[in-house]
Amino acid sequence: MIAVLRWGHRIPRDSRITTHVALTARAFGADAVYVDTEDKELEETVNSVVRRFGGPFEIKTGVNWREIIRGWKGTKIHLTMYGEHIDDAIQRIPQGDILIIVGAEKVPKEFYDLADFNIAIGNQPHSEVAALAVFLDRYTHRKGLRKEFSGGEIRIIPNPRGKTVVEEHVSRRE
Ligand code: SAM
């Protein structure tokens, strides 16, 4: 299980970036995203991508982030530009259940202590979306992007020169 916890989500300011965090998590091999602030519109946007392009992928908003972190049985990774460079730490991060924490605004000091690893995707400021994508790509040994999705309404067929999209015939129980 790979889950992402997005902390500090502010509506409407972070709506677009948090959507990108969730879609990047899904596309790069994570199973779920948890967002601290309740945001039904964000849930609907992500769920509509899952309906159209497939899952499984879960989004939950309005979560108690402390409970999620404290109750997490696997490894907790906090992505921060102040952490250990990913190249120096990736070998020590065990494979298994992981919770990846990304902030929206400046995160409380508590996160640095609650996490098992504070990991920098380079020690320069950039974006939580970029940080998450690079981390997942490295952590999954490039396999995250090959994740198979199922149950979607449509599927993209890779095409070097144009768009090919096929409709899936999925029987759904109402
Ligand atoms: N200004 C805030 C601060 O310094 O704490 C954070 C703003 S940053 C746009 C939002 C999130 O992006 C951070 O909480 C972190 O998760 C992620 N991030 C940005 N640069 C990063 C880096 N070089 N390595 C890992 N994560 C990074």
pLDDT of residue 172: 55
pLDDT of residue 171: 56
Which of 4, 5, 20, 79 to mutate to test ligand 1, by most ligand atoms within 8 A of the CB atom?
79
Q: How far is the CA of 120 from the centre of ligand 1 (A)?
A: 9
Q: Please list the rounded mean pLDDT of every run of 10 residues in the chain (174 residues).
A: 98 98 98 98 98 97 96 97 98 97 94 97 98 98 95 96 90 55
- Rounded to 5 degrees, φ, ψ at 3 are -125, 150
For residue 120 and ligand 1, the question of a CB distance below 6 A is answered with yes
Question: Reading across the β-sheet that carries 75-85, which strands appear in turn?
Answer: 58-61, 32-35, 2-7, 98-103, 75-85, 117-120
For residue 107 and ligand 1, the question of a CB distance below 6 A is answered with yes
Instruction: Give the residue, by CA position, lying nearest to ligand 1 atom 13.
Output: 103
In ligand 1, which atom is closest to the CA atom of 121? Answer: 24
**pTM attached to this predicted model:** 0.94
pLDDT of residue 105: 87
pLDDT of residue 99: 98
pLDDT of residue 169: 76
For residue 96 and ligand 1, the question of a CB distance below 6 A is answered with no
pLDDT of residue 101: 98
In ligand 1, which atom is closest to the CA atom of 119? Answer: 25
What is the C-alpha to C-alpha distance for residues 7 and 5, in angstroms, rounded to an integer? 6
pLDDT of residue 129: 98
- Rounded to 5 degrees, φ, ψ at 54 are 105, 170
15, 41 in Cβ contact below 8 A? yes
Q: Peptide bond before 12: cis, by omega within 30 degrees of 0?
A: yes
What the chain holds in terms of domains, given with CATH numbers, is 2-173 (3.40.1280.10)
